[in-house]
């Protein structure tokens, strides 16, 4: 493949470039599409939602749109207003200004009508430390239908779903943070909710636990539950969510389907054991390398992955994979937001990304 204009334009960033090429592309076409672009009925909708604490604006003029069937990730650095917004959605904190509708009802005035259809876990799981996990769920379910046997069934099912079926009579105060998170989720699943609202649901879980909860949320979503979760973990949102809202200093700066955030760049990643041979064959069409050693190629206009594959195979380059390069959620989000409260205050001091 010969060098081409596109390849030259997208060569790896040099010291003079103020933004890496991928970031530049990420910045283009970011949008808050508004409700017109969303076809399914809205399950959560806010207009001009604002919350002030004294002179501090925690949530600033937010128009949020969560559609039925979404797995919506509400993402933002520490202190950006996620918990405050989640609490307003559930009627736990009153807004300074703006409107909220959840499952078609106004919040807070009609929230009691929809709370039975919502499973929620906000600001960590609340539980009585001296009681066992089962006893806590029994209490939460006290007003549920079907008497003792109905309650026992629901509690056991909820425990099973979150991977706690075998817990014993130990009091909750002896649980690890991960077990408490699971118990909190079990509490949210005692009814079959139309909407799950979860604030940082994988806090304290190890990677195995994070994956289990992700699979559970996908399963519930496929059974019809709309999932809204807040998190500062980009990878978690990227792996789980179908729509993403990004909040920064109280403002919603992005709301888009995950597919359009993670759109393709037009470049192709070649994974091959014959790296040197491929680099020689591709010449100046190579524009970058991935962290895992993939070769990023800008093919000439109209010459997509099929043409590239033919070209490489004709030159005896073996191919493990050929895939379109996508803009990463991290690039988009870091580009759109400033440092979180902890970084801004200098409490971390490591210079690490606040996400
Ligand atoms: N009750 C309160 N009184 C005064 N300020 C508050 C109160 N609750 C939140 N804030 C402030 O509002 C801002 C947003 O806080 P919030 O907890 O909603 O952010 P967050 O994105 O959930 O952060 P984190 O990820 O660290 O939990 C912060 O500056 C916080 O200090």
CATH code of the domain in which 78 resides = 3.40.50.300
**Counted domains in the chain:** 2
User: Which protein residue's CA is at the shortest distance from atom 5 of ligand 1?
Assistant: 53
Give the whole-angstrom CA distance, residue 324 versus residue 188: 39
Looking at the structure, do residues 209 and 101 belong to the same domain, yes or no? yes
Looking at the structure, do residues 126 and 245 belong to the same domain, yes or no? yes
Looking at the structure, do residues 59 and 23 belong to the same domain, yes or no? no
Let me know if residue 338 belongs to a domain. no
- Ligand 1: residue of 56, 74, 79 to mutate (most ligand atoms within 8 A of CB) is 79
Query: What residues contact residue 179 under an 8 Å CB cut-off, 6+ apart?
Result: 133, 164, 167
Looking at the structure, do residues 255 and 306 belong to the same domain, yes or no? no
pTM score of the predicted model: 0.77
Residue 290 CB neighbours (<10 A): 12
Cβ atoms of residues 158 and 187 within 8 Å? yes
Looking at the structure, do residues 187 and 321 belong to the same domain, yes or no? no
Looking at the structure, do residues 201 and 310 belong to the same domain, yes or no? no
Looking at the structure, do residues 111 and 147 belong to the same domain, yes or no? yes
**How remote is the C-alpha of 108 from its chain's centroid?**
26
Using DSSP, state whether 229 is helix, strand or coil.
Answer: strand
Looking at the structure, do residues 200 and 304 belong to the same domain, yes or no? no
Looking at the structure, do residues 324 and 230 belong to the same domain, yes or no? no
DSSP characters for 281-343?
HHGGGEEEE-TTSPEEE-PPTT--HHHHHHHHHHTT---SEEEEEE--HHHHHHHH----HHH
Let me know if residue 156 belongs to a domain. yes
Q: Six-digit token pair at 264?
A: 């393709």
Going residue by residue through the chain, which has 355 residues, state the pLDDT in tens, using 9 for 90 and above.
333 333 333 333 333 444 444 444 444 445 455 555 677 899 999 999 999 999 999 999 999 999 999 999 999 988 999 999 999 999 999 999 999 999 999 999 999 999 989 999 887 667 788 998 888 898 887 766 667 777 788 899 999 988 888 887 889 898 888 788 888 889 888 888 999 999 988 877 888 888 888 888 999 999 999 999 998 888 889 999 999 999 999 999 999 999 888 888 889 999 999 999 999 999 999 999 998 999 999 987 666 788 899 999 999 999 999 999 988 888 888 878 766 565 544 434 343 344 4
Residue 300 CB neighbours (<10 A): 16
Q: Is the CB of 354 under 6 A from ligand 1?
A: no
Give the domain-ending residue among 261, 286, 317.
261
ipTM of the complex: 0.96
DSSP characters for 283-295?
GGGEEEE-TTSPE
Looking at the structure, do residues 271 and 136 belong to the same domain, yes or no? no
Residue 17 CB neighbours (<10 A): 12
**How remote is the C-alpha of 215 from its chain's centroid?**
14
Looking at the structure, do residues 17 and 64 belong to the same domain, yes or no? no
* Domain region containing 12: 5-27+264-330
94's enclosing H/E stretch is none
> How far does the centroid of ligand 1 lie from the alpha carbon of residue 80, in Å?
7
Q: What is the DSSP letter of 260?
A: H
User: Which protein residue's CA is at the shortest distance from atom 4 of ligand 1?
Assistant: 53
Let me know if residue 92 belongs to a domain. yes
Looking at the structure, do residues 149 and 187 belong to the same domain, yes or no? yes
Let me know if residue 344 belongs to a domain. no
Closest by alpha carbon to 173, among 129, 125, 136?
129
Q: Is the CB of 58 under 6 A from ligand 1?
A: yes
Q: Six-digit token pair at 151?
A: 């309650």
Q: Which atom of ligand 1 is nearest to the CA of 51?
A: 12
Q: Which atom of ligand 1 is nearest to the CA of 85?
A: 18
User: Which protein residue's CA is at the shortest distance from atom 26 of ligand 1?
Assistant: 78
Let me know if residue 335 belongs to a domain. no
Report the relative pairing of strands 243-248 and 71-75 from DSSP bridges.
parallel
């Amino acid at each position: 493949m010969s060098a081409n204009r596109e390849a030259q334009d997208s060569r790896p960033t040099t010291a003079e470039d103020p933004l890496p090429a991928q970031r530049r592309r990420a910045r283009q076409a970011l949008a808050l599409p508004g409700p017109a672009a969303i076809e399914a009925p809205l399950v959560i909708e806010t207009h001009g939602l604002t919350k002030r604490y004294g002179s501090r604006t925690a949530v600033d003029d937010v128009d949020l749109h969560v559609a039925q069937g979404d797995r919506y990730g509400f993402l933002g650095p520490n202190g950006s207003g996620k918990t405050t917004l989640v609490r307003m959605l559930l009627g736990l904190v009153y807004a300074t200004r703006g409107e909220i509708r959840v499952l078609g009802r106004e919040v807070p005035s009609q929230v009691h009508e929809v709370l039975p259809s919502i499973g929620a876990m906000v600001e960590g799981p609340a539980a009585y430390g001296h009681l066992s996990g089962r006893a806590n769920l029994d209490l939460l379910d006290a007003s549920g239908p079907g008497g003792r046997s109905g309650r026992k069934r629901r509690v056991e099912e909820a425990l099973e779903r979150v991977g706690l079926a075998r817990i014993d009579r130990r009091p909750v105060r002896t649980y690890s943070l991960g077990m408490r998170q699971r118990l909190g989720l079990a509490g949210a699943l005692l009814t079959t909710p139309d909407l799950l609202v979860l604030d940082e649901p994988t806090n304290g879980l190890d990677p195995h636990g994070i994956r289990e909860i992700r699979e559970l949320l996908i399963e519930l979503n496929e059974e019809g539950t709309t999932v809204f979760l807040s998190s500062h973990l980009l990878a978690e949102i990227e792996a789980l969510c179908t729509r993403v809202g990004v909040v920064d200093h109280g403002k919603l700066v992005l709301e888009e389907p995950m597919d359009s955030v993670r759109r393709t760049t037009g470049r192709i990643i070649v994974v091959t054991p014959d790296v040197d041979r491929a680099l020689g064959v591709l010449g100046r069409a190579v524009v970058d390398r991935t962290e895992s050693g993939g070769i990023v190629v800008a093919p000439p206009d109209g010459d997509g992955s099929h043409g590239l594959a033919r070209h490489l195979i004709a030159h005896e380059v073996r191919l493990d994979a050929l895939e379109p390069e996508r803009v990463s959620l991290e690039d988009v989000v870091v580009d759109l937001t400033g440092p979180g409260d902890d970084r801004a205050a200098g409490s971390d001091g490591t210079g690490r990304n606040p996400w």
